[in-house]
Structure 1
Amino acid sequence: MADLTKKEEYAEPIFVNGRFENPFPTWKQPGLFNLCKYFLFDSNESAILSQESLDATLPVLQPDFKDFQSSSPDGMRVAWLGHSSLLVQFDGVTILTDPIFSKRCSPFQFVGPKRFRDAPCQVSDLPPIDLVLISHNHYDHMDYHSIVDLQKKYGSRLTWFVPIGDKRWMEESGCTNVREMTWWQEETFDNHENIKVACVPCQHWSSRKAYLGVNQSLWSSWCVIGPTQRFYFAGDTGYCEAFKQIGRRYGPFSLAGIPIGAYKPRWFKRAQHVDPEESVQIHMDVRSEKSIGIHWGTFRLTHEHYLEPRTKLKEEVEKQNLQPEDFITLNHGEIQFITNSKTK
């Protein structure tokens, strides 16, 4: 870990008139005019050709969670459950990120963005889980039905970590044991005194009501620090200076989940969603030994081809002279065991 006795400026959220603001010069709030321009006039390459092509190019595997019943001392287990949902296990703790198992990421299940790849499992199939990390309150990251089902299954055994401003909504949805945190705040995890959770910055925005109620809650990425392994979850973000700060303060990381999709057109999405080139830069900034691409291949949210994030990621990894296994993608439901040097 970096020497925190040295003076360094760390990004802090701005709170003005009841709303949070990004402190980064790279931020630009998406406006209604550009949203209309995006939907009406931008070229869209995201069409899905056929179910057969999807099954061949982006298969959905049925995960076998038997190995998640006990933690290995030699590394980390990780499963990609679609979009930004990762199941990660290390140092005796099992973590779920931004869970969404619903058919649509929408306030309603009859309209809104629909999955073109089914969830590889449902909440009822999951192994024991200790904590859930929520990055922000957009519907593709804070899904009501998935949260309700998780709370019903695990009850008070489950601890929820959410950015400041989201605790009330979580509790109104039936959740107990909710920890609400702001950037750079750290807490020790219940019943796991050797596990530390840190809320850290990213560049995004929040709202559950389109352009009403914008930024009344914060957005964040997360670090989970164990005695032998470190995990970083980038959430949903545009590129900003915060990632170098995170790397200096909490890196190196054994594993990071970093978004690689939903980035076109760049004139509209750059501030809020990274492209694969920027994703690889985040991987290097936070000093991650291994990274997995998330936030792609599940919902048609933007205008790039559904396989472009994976292709562009491979190209950028090669361009930066990284090893192919340093930053990878998984199929839906695929489980990997990550072995690396033990980062302390």
Structure 2
Amino acid sequence: MKRRSLLAAVSAATVMTLGGVGYAAHRRSRNPYYSGPKSDHFDGIRFHSPDQATDKDLTDVIRWQLSRSGEPWPKRFPSPFSDKPPERVDGLRVALIGHASYLVQVAGRNILIDPVFAKRASPVAFAGPRRVNPPGIAFDDLPPIDAVLITHNHYDHLDGPAMALLWQRHQPLVVAPLGNDAILRAYDDTMHVEVRDWGGSVDLGGGVTAHLTPAYHWSARGLNDRRMALWCAYVITSASGVHYHAGDTGLGDGAIFRAARERFGPPRLATLPIGAYEPRWFMQPQHMNPTDAVEAAALLGASQALGHHWGTFRLTDEGVERPVEALSAACEAAGRDPATFLALRPGQVWTA
């Protein structure tokens, strides 16, 4: 088991303290995670989304921090739900573990997406955003895990110690975008990770396939590795239909959602982020708000949507319950039945 230096850990904690949207000095002239051919979204050192706004810089971060007047969160925001999932499901069952972590049970396969069980979204125990509710599924209550899908390497989506323990207990098929294998193996160097570029696919067994698609986001574990590992959304196809999952993304011009619909058809289910969106001048390129998420669901043609990325870790300025209120208003404004876009709480389950 390898460990990061304390200096690197504190730097990464600083990134997360700034809401998971920190800046990088861009001093490194090489990529420690990935070496591969240049493409329309990789310049040989860093990845980028061709249609996404440019990075914020230190001046923007300071401006946000100096003008910050966010609504305080409670120390505890307990969920009324708790889940003990069955061992296997033939159809489709989706449970929110918390924040952006899901257990997807489909066609007899058990799939975790961005599993985070840590008390803080941080590399260290003494700093960074702290959970205000426990995981909706206890780690020891997980069924046998067949696959784990990682969308990107931010600490609220990639929990290294949890991934190492999952590997040791379950030996799942681990899937991640380019460069994230090096990060994951830093927590257990025996871990095997299937990495793919946007457009790639991985067979998860049982007729279930995970397809990596673009997202308007970025990556970093510290202050000097920004965009050196790729990020993605996933489309999961199975006999139960199409499931579109965006771990974290901005709306942008909507092209990524239209493209997913054109390639895979309208999804039966879309799991979309609805939180960590204020202030908009800072967050808009990388984090959807509920109005954006409702628009994304419409662009996808999703018959059902579930909202995540809210109510567990305070990353930005909006109050803990504001995403739910804003989602209700956005559905009403769009003429969408609110029952078709639910803001899940940890431990809450949706079944097809």
TM-score by length of 2: 0.84
Question: Could you tell me how far 1:253 is from its partner in structure 2?
Answer: 1.2
2:219 maps to 1:206: yes
Structure 1 segment 238-257 matched on structure 2, within 5 A? 238-240=250-252, 241-257=255-271
- Can you list the C-alpha shifts for 1:160-187, whole angstroms capped at 9, x where unaligned? 1101011122223225331101111123
Specify the alignment match of 1:7 in structure 2.
none
CA contact (8 A) 2:84 2:141 kept: no
CA contact (8 A) 1:135 1:222 kept: yes
Specify the alignment match of 2:4 in structure 1.
none
Tell me, which stretches of 5 or more residues in structure 1 are unaligned?
1-11, 339-344
2:204 maps to 1:179: no
Specify the alignment match of 1:317 in structure 2.
331
Specify the alignment match of 1:95 in structure 2.
111
Runs of 4+ with deviation above 6 angstroms: none
Specify the alignment match of 2:148 in structure 1.
132
Give the root-mean-square deviation of aligned CA atoms. 1.6
* 13-22 or 138-147, which deviates more: 13-22
Question: Could you tell me how far 1:62 is from its partner in structure 2?
Answer: 2.3
Question: Could you tell me how far 1:331 is from its partner in structure 2?
Answer: 2.1
| 2:93 aligned to which of 41, 55, 77 | 77
For 2:40 and 2:297, the matched residues in 1 are separated by 23
Q: How has the CA–CA distance of structure 1 residues 50 and 165 changed in structure 2, closer, same or farther, with 3 Å as cutoff? A: closer
2:60 maps to 1:42: no
CA contact (8 A) 1:71 1:90 kept: yes
For 1:234 and 1:49, the matched residues in 2 are separated by 27
2:329 maps to 1:303: no
For 1:15 and 1:50, the matched residues in 2 are separated by 41
Matched residue SS, 1:244: helix
Tell me, which stretches of 5 or more residues in structure 2 are unaligned?
1-38
2:95 maps to 1:61: no
Question: AA paired with 1:177?
Answer: H
For 1:169 and 1:20, the matched residues in 2 are separated by 16
| 1:168 aligned to which of 175, 179, 182 | 182
Question: Could you tell me how far 1:109 is from its partner in structure 2?
Answer: 1.2
Question: Could you tell me how far 1:41 is from its partner in structure 2?
Answer: 1.4
2:272 maps to 1:258: yes
Question: AA paired with 2:320?
Answer: Y
Alignment length, in residue pairs? Answer: 311
CA contact (8 A) 1:203 1:239 kept: yes
For 2:90 and 2:331, the matched residues in 1 are separated by 28
Question: AA paired with 2:89?
Answer: S
Question: Could you tell me how far 1:251 is from its partner in structure 2?
Answer: 2.5
Question: Could you tell me how far 1:60 is from its partner in structure 2?
Answer: 4.4
Matched residue SS, 2:303: strand
CA contact (8 A) 1:160 1:178 kept: yes
Question: Could you tell me how far 1:227 is from its partner in structure 2?
Answer: 2.2
Question: Could you tell me how far 1:32 is from its partner in structure 2?
Answer: 1.3
Specify the alignment match of 1:3 in structure 2.
none
* 327-336 or 196-205, which deviates more: 327-336
Question: Could you tell me how far 1:50 is from its partner in structure 2?
Answer: 6.0
Aligned sequence identity (%): 32
Q: How has the CA–CA distance of structure 1 residues 17 and 276 changed in structure 2, closer, same or farther, with 3 Å as cutoff? A: same
Specify the alignment match of 1:4 in structure 2.
none
Matched residue SS, 1:282: helix
For 1:129 and 1:254, the matched residues in 2 are separated by 23
| 1:23 aligned to which of 46, 50, 58 | 50
Q: How has the CA–CA distance of structure 1 residues 147 and 49 changed in structure 2, closer, same or farther, with 3 Å as cutoff? A: closer
| 2:298 aligned to which of 268, 284, 296 | 284
- Can you list the C-alpha shifts for 1:267-324, whole angstroms capped at 9, x where unaligned? 1000110110110111111221111101000011000011111111111112211122
